[in-house]
Homo-oligomer: A and B are copies of this chain.
């Protein structure tokens, strides 16, 4: 009756199986946390035996690192698509802030906190975190640079500005696990405010204007 009682083996190509494992691990990492990415948990997810996961990832730590990398990659792509066929830089940046401030982003904030903490003990994960930090920074820097070229933004150093924006976002996301009540609007708006200030934009260009009486 239940499909969980599966006896028959399903044999897949190494590439396909590996991808399947990484996908499942990334999903678990994003929803339940990186410490739930265990051989048993992922095996259960795919309805295979734990030994199989070990076969593809002889060290469990590598799977955890891969899970984070994959999840972060995916999030970055929806947050700041590499290809931006149409729209102004301001529009792209505004969309970025909408996504990165919405409640749906909490899961991503949690993942980053998770990874940043766990990387204290796991070198393989730490490497991935450093990689992803660079990737996110570069992707945002690219967008800012494009805006500068188009004359939309004005900043001496797009990279410094993008780091500043990301620092504020990290600070806002830090509370994703504890946040209870609402925050003052001046706090919620900090990321947008920072961007507008550092890019020489008028208030309200990148998001809802501060306080409408």
Question: Which A residues lie at the B interface, using CB under 8 A?
Answer: 33, 35, 110, 112-114, 116-121, 126, 129-130, 133, 157, 159-160, 163-164, 166-172, 174-175, 177-178, 180, 183-184, 186-187, 190
Which 5 residue pairs spanning A and B have beta carbons closest together?
A171-B171, A167-B171, A170-B171, A117-B117, A170-B174
Chain B residue contacts of A183, Cβ below 8 A: 163
Task: Write 19 A-B pairs (CB below 8 A) sorted by A numbering.
Answer: A33-B120, A33-B121, A110-B120, A113-B113, A113-B174, A116-B174, A116-B175, A117-B177, A119-B178, A133-B175, A157-B186, A160-B184, A160-B186, A163-B184, A163-B187, A164-B186, A166-B171, A167-B168, A171-B174
Shortest Cβ distance from A54 into chain B, in angstroms?
Answer: 23
- Does A126 contact B177, Cβ atoms closer than 8 Å? yes
A164 contact set on B, CB distance < 8 A: 186-187, 190
Contact B177 A120 (CB under 8 A): yes
A132 to chain B, nearest CB (A): 10
Instruction: Provide the main secondary structure of the chain A interface.
Output: helix
**A178 in contact with B114 (CB, 8 Å):** no
Which residue in B126, B177, B184 is a CB contact (below 8 Å) of A178? Answer: B126
Q: Are A160 and B187 in contact (CB under 8 A)?
A: yes
Of the residues B112, B117, B163, B187, contact of A114 by C-beta under 8 Å: B117
For the complex, what is the distance from the CA of A113 to the CA of B164, rounded to whole Å? Answer: 19
Contact A130 B180 (CB under 8 A): yes
Q: With CB as the reference atom, state the residue of chain B lying closest to A133.
A: B178
Q: What is the chain B residue whose CB lies nearest that of A171? A: B171
With A and B bound together, what is the CA distance between A171 and B169 in angstroms? 7
Given that A121-B33, A184-B160, A186-B160 are contacting pairs, would A116 and B178 also be in contact in the complex, using a CB cutoff of 8 Å? Answer: yes
